[in-house]
Amino acid sequence: MPGKFEGRAAIITAGGSGIGAATARRFVAEGASVVIADLSGKRGEAVANELREAGGRVEWIKMDVADPDAVEATVKLCLDTFGSVDIMFNNAGLAEPGRIEDLTLESWNRVLAVTVTSTFLFLKQVLPIMRSQGRGVVVNTASVSGLQGDPEMSSYNVGKAGVVNLTRAAALENAKYGIRVNCVCPGTINTRVAQVLAKGREEEFNRIVGGGHPIGRLGEADEVANAVTFLASDEASFITGAALVVDGGITAFTGIPTMPPMPQVA
């Protein structure tokens, strides 16, 4: 039985680890040809080799998503190798914590460049291709931090909120061309970044950060990849402009502490 993406080609940014690598594995398992784009050539190559050994049609490229020339080269690689760009997964992002008054302009611009401008750059490249094909799907990685605020994460909040609304604008502009554009909004996911943050205090991190999700734990990269795979598939054919939360219930909670039960009155 053919997979969901048989005969389709996909580009995945930040595909060398975490959510990107998990999604690359899912896409290949569903029959897609995949270009893995990553700032780390070592990680991108490792994932590509793993998937090739499993029989996948995979290319990789070391690139910076904030560089317009690198974006153009990545899209060209997909077209030249596989003949189309059917799925674009804009997954790259960057966070540099700090209070607003302490952030440098360079840091602010860097976070926005990697998080939201990169999505804009890839959209500029792939949307005309998808229009000429008469079909295409874009999935962007936003975050619950693009829907709500975090202390000392203002540039990340702004970048991810930008991804959410860029998703909506692109969906509206392109629905008539048979192109769907959606985004996923993960909570805290157990990826390499989370592991670096938790290093040396894993138990405390899991208790506080993981326990802050109503479901009681961190998410896993595969769980986000499942959502991305759904949105990229024909099973989501009537979904566009959506921000799908994959957050263990965080955005369902007002944050107001729960009062203890009132005593029973006889």
Active site annotation includes 156: yes
Catalytic-labelled residue, pool 63, 156, 181, 242? 156
Encoding tokens for residue 86? 């059917």
Cα–Cα distance for residue pair 43/36, rounded to 1 Å: 10
Encoding tokens for residue 34? 């995949």
Helix (H) or strand (E) holding 246: strand 243-246
Helix (H) or strand (E) holding 197: helix 192-198
**Locus of tokens 């690359």:** 24
Cα–Cα distance for residue pair 132/10, rounded to 1 Å: 16
- Phi and psi dihedrals of 36, rounded to 5? -95, 115
Q: Are 39 and 71 in contact (CB under 8 A)?
A: no
Could you give the maximum distance between any two Cα atoms of the chain, in Å? Answer: 78
Q: Order across the sheet with 33-38: list the strands.
A: 58-62, 33-38, 9-13, 87-90, 136-141, 179-186, 243-246
Q: Are 157 and 185 in contact (CB under 8 A)?
A: no
Cα–Cα distance for residue pair 47/193, rounded to 1 Å: 17
Q: By C-alpha distance, which of 135, 95, 126, 144 is closest to 233?
A: 135
Query: Which active-site residues does the annotation give?
Result: 156
